[in-house]
């Protein structure tokens, strides 16, 4: 599909691409079917929106964005596995590309920022709950669409990612390339920079370290 999708972006055609099985979560079909590098490859393509929603709210928001953007195509990258409805997600948040879903800090000064997309936002939220039990002020950000977020004002970006907070961890079941823009030089990117493997979704996530435990360990190392 990539060549045709590139032409639609080049031609400013408002096509809506609904792509499923977006990560290693598809399990037993193995590495040939696991799109490790696809997310960042489409983020690198001009004039296309790559949206990776985490639940029903964000999927509705992504579809709204796709319908309203008539001069550029949109890709909705959806998971195979079942995902819960998360507290704090919203249709309106998706329209900004990235937004805060939970935060127990004050004064825009969290100790730590956790950033997730799609099926990994749930994992970030779980890690945040555990870190808060240890007294940490943790902000969780859903970065559902990099392109839309990058188009926001500097003031909005600062309200989500305050420059003074360098302790940041991203988690996405795909290549870590590109995440440095959001986590900075001192942050940690949890992802997959090799081809996948064949195993049930739950096991393969653990094998590749796409877990709340990995986030907590990374956070404590910062």
216 within 8 A of 127, measured Cβ to Cβ: yes
Instruction: Give all strands of the β-sheet with 74-77 in edge-to-edge order.
Output: 16-19, 74-77, 49-51
Q: Average the pLDDT over 151-162 and give the result.
A: 98
CA dihedral sign of residues 17, 171, 209, 57: negative
Q: Give pLDDT, residue 29.
A: 82
What gap in Å lies between CA 210 and CA 206, rounded to an integer?
Answer: 6
Residue 63, CA distances (Å) to 31, 58, 159 in order: 28, 9, 25
Residue 36: pLDDT band with limits 50, 70, 90: very high
- Asked if CATH classification 1.20.120.1200 holds for the domain at 2-221, the reply, yes or no, is no
Q: What percent of the chain has pLDDT over 90?
A: 94
pLDDT at 89: 98
**Among the listed ranges 28-32, 35-39, 90-94, 95-99, which one has the minimum average pLDDT value?**
28-32
The token duo for 194 is: 């090799």
The whole-number pLDDT of residue 158 equals: 98
Least trusted range by pLDDT, from 28-37, 45-54, 141-150, 187-196: 28-37
11-24: average pLDDT: 95
Question: Which pLDDT band, with edges at 50, 70 and 90, does 26 fall under?
Answer: confident
Q: Can you tell me the mean pLDDT for 85-99?
A: 98
Asked whether residue 27 carries a pLDDT value surpassing 90, the answer given is no
Q: What is the pLDDT of residue 96?
A: 98
Do 37 and 99 contact (CB within 8 A), yes or no?
no
C-beta separation of 169 from 153 below 8 A: no
Q: Where are the alpha helices (DSSP H) in 73-211?
A: 91-95, 121-133, 146-150, 154-160, 180-183, 201-207
Question: Residue for token digits 């507290």?
Answer: 87
């Amino acid at each position: 599909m990539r060549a045709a999708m590139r032409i639609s972006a080049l031609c400013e055609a408002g096509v809506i691409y609904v792509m499923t099985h977006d990560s290693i979560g598809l399990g037993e079909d193995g590495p040939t079917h696991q799109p490790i590098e696809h997310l960042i490859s489409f983020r690198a393509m001009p004039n296309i929106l790559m949206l990776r929603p985490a639940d029903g709210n964000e999927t509705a928001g992504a579809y709204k964005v796709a319908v309203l953007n008539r001069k550029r195509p949109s890709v909705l990258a959806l998971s195979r596995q079942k995902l819960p409805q998360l507290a704090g997600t919203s249709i309106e948040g998706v329209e900004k590309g990235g937004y805060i879903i939970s935060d127990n800090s004050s004064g825009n000064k969290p100790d730590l920022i956790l950033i997730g997309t799609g099926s990994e936002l749930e994992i970030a939220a779980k890690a945040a709950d555990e870190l808060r039990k240890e007294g940490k002020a943790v902000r969780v950000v859903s970065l559902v669409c990099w392109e839309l977020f990058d188009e926001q004002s500097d003031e909005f970006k600062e309200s989500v990612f305050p420059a003074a907070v360098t302790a940041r961890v991203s988690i996405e079941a795909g290549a870590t390339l590109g995440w440095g823009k959001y986590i900075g030089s001192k942050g940690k990117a949890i992802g997959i920079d090799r081809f996948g493997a064949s195993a049930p979704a739950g096991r393969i996530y653990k094998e590749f370290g796409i877990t709340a435990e990995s986030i907590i360990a990374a956070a404590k190392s910062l």
